[in-house]
Structure 1
């Protein structure tokens, strides 16, 4: 994904599937923000990957090698992970550093990938310790790893990425005891607060491009199909607030980015 300013002052976007970071302290009712400066010419190049944490297996290493090639060619500014970062059951805790290194640090070794990685969680991350990936202890293992909260915003002047925790929306997960719902339950309150915070942030946004990132697809022709709960609760918010793109993982096919139908 490459974004840049045009002569008209607007921005163009084309899909092409360490700057100083400033964490802004905000009121607890607001989504936390991370600032990431674009290139000097105002452009920004972003790589996105999802459903990847395999200890190097299932072609993860091969994909990582190609990401390194593309990242160098395009001079990527940062990487977004759309979740399911560690299979099959996330991290066991913030001391699960061996698996973290085997699935992340020791895989994405290309120089072009030594950039910030902004992280959302997937359903497989929730069947382990769902709080571990936000732990400062994990960040100390690899400073590229940035998951300041389960939902947060990455600001980069012309574009804002709104990273949204979608697993709690999916009702069937709540009937399975293996999911770690600490700091999430009760579900209805968590979802209502998250949607309110997202609406407030989208309303206030002055970015030319507004891109929402989640793990689950809103609409999909692949195996998992549409996510009914996101179509009911999240999609109306995206339509009402001028979101230009929704980026997701979960379905293991080439369908990763969809525009917001209006």
Structure 2
């Protein structure tokens, strides 16, 4: 295929480093290589190289993995060679030796997700403590003083909504045994006064691409995101880069699923609210892609980066002003 003949081109990052201060992170989904030698793809290798360049330029603090970490059937145990072949030997830049916060995707659930959780004990940068967890970060100003905060809440959307059966439209009902996890998410959102609140899962809420919107999340998660003024919901699953935001509502929907493959499908473009799609990128010539987030006291900006290291879109979101009464 065309994907197999793409050369690996390690480009220097084309943008200038950002100003001092703030919190920098990367978000990458669907980067899980291939199940046969060389256990990776040219898009993954180019994306990893560009991630290393931007991480070095901007002193990235952590990386968020949005699921589908190992195609096509996850791993078998915590000594599975795929950890080395698809992760450790690909993301080799020293700038990428920061905490990686891991979420499971549907392909990970085809295998042994508890083995990925257990691998946290073997790799100092692989942080996957549970199917659901959260992390709190201080956001420093240019003098290094903490003036703002960011809270990350991760969800296992496969456990919530099930495995897809031919696309996102088949994922319609939340699984009853995991309703309590959404209740925990609601409690965390409600009680939190963080400057920026991010929620992350593998399945998208809104998407114009092959899988489309996830009805289960539209019904059960979207109302919470709006009610508690979540800054952004980050996901993967569709193999492209997207940004969506419903007109008049505060939540940004960040899709970063271009880590291994690109799929140009727009088959669900009529299934998202009019005016909500702000950006879509699935050009294979871009050699993959990821998202760079930078939070400052003033705002949170997402930069979309292709596998050549080029900024192709950005969006800036304001601090939250949650009503905690």
Cross-structure match for 1:207? 194
Cross-structure match for 2:78? 94
Query: Does residue 1:53 correspond to 2:37, yes or no?
Result: no
Cross-structure match for 1:142? 123
CA RMSD of aligned residues (A): 2.1
Cross-structure match for 1:73? 57
**How many residue pairs were aligned?**
208
In structure 2, distance between residues paired with 1:187 and 1:93? 26
Q: How does 1:110-259 map to 2 (within 5 A)?
A: 110-135=93-118, 138-157=119-138, 158-171=149-162, 173=164, 187-190=175-178, 192-255=179-242, 257-259=243-245
**SS of 1:131's equivalent?**
helix
In structure 1, distance between residues paired with 2:175 and 2:220? 13
**Distance of aligned partners of 1:65 and 1:243 in 2 relative to their CA distance in 1, 3 Å threshold:** same
Give the ranges of 4+ consecutive aligned residues of structure 1 lying more than 3 Å apart after TM superposition: 171-175, 257-261
**Distance of aligned partners of 1:100 and 1:260 in 2 relative to their CA distance in 1, 3 Å threshold:** farther
Deviation, 1:133, is 1.1
**SS of 2:241's equivalent?**
coil
**SS of 1:206's equivalent?**
coil
Given that 1:243 and 1:260 are in contact with CA atoms closer than 8 Å, whether structure 2 keeps it comes out as no
In structure 2, distance between residues paired with 1:130 and 1:48? 20
Deviation, 1:169, is 3.0
**Distance of aligned partners of 1:219 and 1:148 in 2 relative to their CA distance in 1, 3 Å threshold:** same
Structure 1 unaligned spans of 5+: 1-15, 17-40, 176-185
In structure 2, distance between residues paired with 1:131 and 1:94? 8
Cross-structure match for 2:48? 64
Structure 2 unaligned spans of 5+: 1-14, 34-38, 139-148, 167-173, 250-325
Deviation, 1:203, is 1.1
**SS of 1:169's equivalent?**
helix
In structure 1, distance between residues paired with 2:163 and 2:100? 29
In structure 2, distance between residues paired with 1:214 and 1:151? 10
Deviation, 1:198, is 0.4
Given that 2:68 and 2:237 are in contact with CA atoms closer than 8 Å, whether structure 1 keeps it comes out as yes
Deviations along 1:101-150, one digit per CA (max 9) or x if unpaired, are: 11111111101101000011100000001211111xx1243210001111
**SS of 1:142's equivalent?**
coil
Decide which structure has the larger Cα Rg and report it.
2
Q: How does 1:19-34 map to 2 (within 5 A)?
A: none
Quick one: higher RCO (CA 8 Å, sep 6+), 1 or 2?
Answer: 2
In structure 1, distance between residues paired with 2:182 and 2:45? 36
TM-score (norm. length: structure 1): 0.75
In structure 2, distance between residues paired with 1:259 and 1:212? 15
